[in-house]
Structure 1
Amino acid sequence: MKAKPVILSGGSGVRLWPISRKNLAKQFVDIFQNDTSLFLDTIRRVSNKSFSKPLIISNISQRFEILKLIKKHKLKTDKIILESIQKNTAPACAFSSFYSRPDEILCIMPSDHYIQNSDKFLTTINYAIELASENFLVTIGAKATEPNSNYGYILAEKNKKYKKGLEITNFIEKPSKLAAEKLIKKNALWNTGIIVIKNKILIEIFKKFSKK
């Protein structure tokens, strides 16, 4: 079963200013000077048989850069959704559900991740797609190598129901450095912000937890 990549590309990357700025966010910058960018790498990473054409969600100030890159590199995309006002991750995920079939599996991911081992990443995503097809919400964790307070953390434990995955017990969003040190001792993972989920399950979650 193929998954639809939903690439979130609305961030401004202000922490990398002046390299990254409002109209040229970090995901579009050739940071490593190797004639590519995190945005391009993200799209290329999902340009294989495991995925359908990606849906890109960004903001209106970045539209020209996105269109320029798509045309220059002949990238195959589904749709581009542009927000007039930046609203962070949850509304962007909600937008993706409106433009997808209920039975489609969505692979929601930021466009600014640096991933060293693409093969290992794709193996993980393919297993996540299997779980999502069984109506699980799957999020991808990464090994925490330092107590970084800029990241969210995931606490998870083994469950016999899953061959490789772990069952999440708690999310901790951007803890203090001291708290992060304690979390790492508990084998907490960094929350990558990558979610794999069947669209109808995503819609059910929004209905359940959104404000009336």
Structure 2
Amino acid sequence: MNPVVPVLLAGGSGTRLWPLSREAYPKQFLKIGGEYTLLQQTALRARQIDGATAPVVICGDAHRFIVAEQLREIGIEGATIILEPEGRNTAPAAAVAALHVKERYGADALVFLMSADHVVTDVSAFCAAANCAAQGAAQGWLMVFGIKPTRPETGYGYLKRGKPIYINTSVIPAKARIQERDEPLAFELESFVEKPDAHRAQEFLDQGGYDWNGGLFLFPAGLFLSELQRFESSAAGDMVAACSQALASARRDLDFIRLDAAAFKQARSDSIDYAVMEKTDKAALVPLDAGWDDVGSWAYLDQLPKDSRGNYGHGDVVIEDSDNVLAHSESRLVAALGLKDQVIVETKDAVLVTTRQHAQNVKALVARLKAQKRGEVQQHPVVHRPWGSYEGVAAGPRFQVKKIVVKPGHRLSLQMHHHRAEHWIVVSGTAKVTCDDKEFLVGENQSTYIPLGGKHRLENPGKVPLELIEVQSGSYLGEDDIVRFDDVYGRCKI
């Protein structure tokens, strides 16, 4: 059987799940209703598909270390992380993935393209459908997964099934097959249907033969590229050529592949649906009934266990005399009384209160906050870095206080600041400090001073996390007042 290469699309900002999801730490990196983050869940279930290789992850530069760390945490080794200079929709990402897979595994290798921010509750059913789709792809089809609709949803596009097609499942191990059922295993894809209104969505549900388009695709690398090339027009530019050049001129940066920015920008922004799947005569559909959801808004919490009055609470939440209330707390008590159909989401620096009816429109609210240049759109109070994290504790004129956590064996860059001095107080662990020409250890309940302009580095030589309080003082305290001289993460070279 041809290798199946899971390609995880980990871009996007997940604005409809604000304030839990932020631009610098969007929903794919969050634990929502489970032990693992959405990215980790995606990687773990992809690993269970018959013939699956190590994954390819496509993401933006700002999230590269988060992706690498989250894969490391769950023992995913050998992943290829490709960095897009900018988002260009799914078709260029699919083209880059297919080019990479074709070069590494051959034209017949199979690309399984999936978003890294979706939920699947029945992993065995997901893998069985994937194994069936892989065999269909090996027979020369570009496979799309049709999600079984469970409600008259207006937020998704739909897929209309065509004639049944034969899928040879005899080559799939018995334990990896879809269970015997009356309906065919796959269908020709008759058409894509745009997001319907409520009346038409109900008609689709009543009539049958329509599935949700979940953005899951499985296809031979070479076949997809030839179809994409076939449908390119000279006026629109050659997406395959642009992506091929972006990959050929890419450079290695630690464990990452940086696509060439100038070449990649020449690839027009387009979806895989419009670029290929709506035009090809080689599209086929495999039904998927596996508890899929795109976690597209706070309404997703409806699928989690609720009390007898339809209320859901996460964290330190008390709900009294209320109906259909969704309350999510991250850092403090949230108490709801006498409410109906409300959504309440609390984080350390922001609280969202809306109705279920308006939960899909959080994106518009975030756009307004972004126009006001509100920092709550970009960052969480806890900011993740490849070496650990920092969190703002207090701030005022000419000073700010941060809590810094450095992971065992990690160190910050050798750096200096033009406008601020720093005091470091170690709370737990041991710090190895470089300050100009001195190098020394600072233990628990000890402190040190970094003068303005001093060349310094912080390192954790121990086996437990290093926690310290940093007090900054000076005329300017922005994160951009950093001059890096040496950095194990390559940030001073970018």
TM-score class normalised by the smaller sequence:
over 0.9
SS in 1 for 2:31: coil
Q: What secondary structure sits across from 1:82 in the alignment?
A: strand
SS of the equivalent of 2:101 reads coil
2:214 alignment partner, SS class: strand
Q: Matches of 1:86 and 1:70 in 2, distance apart?
A: 22
SS in 2 for 1:31: coil
1:173 shift after superposition: 2.8
1:136-175 correspondence runs (5 A): 136-159=141-164, 161-162=166-167, 163-175=184-196
Which residue is equivalent to 1:202?
A: 224
Amino acid of the residue matched to residue 168 of structure 1? L
Please point out which of 106, 114, 122 is paired with 2:127.
122
> Is 1:107–1:194's contact at 8 Å kept on the other side of the alignment?
yes
- Is residue 67 of structure 1 aligned with residue 89 of structure 2? no
**Secondary structure in 2 aligned to 1:171?**
strand
Residue 97 of structure 1 aligns with an amino acid whose one-letter code is A
Equivalent residue letter for 1:39:
L
Amino acid aligned to 1:156:
R
Q: Secondary structure at the match of 2:76?
A: coil
Runs of 5+ in structure 1 lacking a partner?
Answer: none
Q: Aligned residue for 1:23?
A: 24
1:164 & 1:150 partners in 2: Cα distance? 26
Q: Distance in 1 between matches of 2:140 and 2:165?
A: 17
Cα deviation, 1:3-60, whole Å, max 9, x if unaligned, reads 111111112111111111111111111111x331111011011223420111111112
1:186 corresponds to: 207
> SS state of the match for residue 147, structure 1?
coil
Q: Distance in 2 between matches of 1:100 and 1:58?
A: 17
Distance in 2 of aligned mates of 1:205 and 1:152: 22
User: 2:7, 2:32 → 1: CA distance?
Assistant: 23
Which residue matches 1:14?
Answer: 15
Shift of 1:90: 0.9
How far apart in 1 are the matches of 2:55 and 2:108?
A: 16
> In 2, are the aligned partners of 1:109 and 1:194 still within 8 Å (CA)?
yes
Query: Which deviations, in whole Å up to 9, do the C-alpha atoms of 1:149-205 show, x marking residues without a partner?
Result: 221100103425355111211101322223322222332101111111001111012
Displacement of 1:93 = 0.3
Unpaired runs of 5+ residues, structure 2, are 168-183, 235-494
- Identity over aligned pairs, percent: 29
> Secondary structure, in 3 states, of the residue corresponding to 2:23?
coil
Greater CA drift, 124-133 or 159-168: 159-168
Which 4+ runs in 1 deviate beyond 3 A? 160-163
Alpha-carbon distance in 2 for matches of 1:138, 1:67: 29
Q: Please say which structure displays the higher CA radius of gyration.
A: 2
Q: Which secondary structure does the structure 1 equivalent of 2:119 belong to?
A: coil
More strand by percentage: 2
CA separation in 2, counterparts of 1:142 and 1:27? 20
Greater relative CO, 1 or 2 (CA 8 Å, sep 6+) = 1
Decide which moves more: 45-54 or 198-207: 45-54
Instruction: Tell me the TM-score normalized by structure 1.
Output: 0.93
- Secondary structure at the residue paired with 1:174? coil
Query: Kindly tell me: are residues 91 and 123 of structure 1, through their superposed partners in 2, closer, same or farther at Cα, counting changes over 3 Å?
Result: same
Q: In structure 2, do the counterparts of structure 1 residues 41 and 160 end up closer, same or farther at CA, with 3 Å as the change threshold?
A: closer
Counterpart of 1:52? 53
- Aligned 8 A contact 1:55 1:77 in 2: no
Bigger mean CA deviation after superposition, 43-52 or 121-130: 43-52
Change (3 A) 1:61 1:109: same
Q: Which amino acid aligns with 2:42?
A: T
Q: Distance in 2 between matches of 1:75 and 1:63?
A: 15
For 1:104, the equivalent position in structure 2 comes to 109
Matched AA of 1:10: G
Q: 1:176 to 1:22 in 2, by over 3 A?
A: same
- Structure 1 CA distance for aligned equivalents of residues 80 and 155 of structure 2: 31
Which piece of structure 1 moves more, 107-116 or 178-187? Answer: 178-187
Q: What SS is found at the alignment partner of 2:121?
A: coil
SS of 1:85's equivalent?
coil
Residue of structure 1 in register with 2:278 after alignment: none
Indicate if the aligned counterparts of 1:22 and 1:61 stay in contact, CA closer than 8 A: no
Question: CA separation in 1, counterparts of 2:194 and 2:226?
Answer: 23
Cα distance in 2 for partners of 1:155, 1:87 equals 27
CA RMSD across the alignment: 1.6
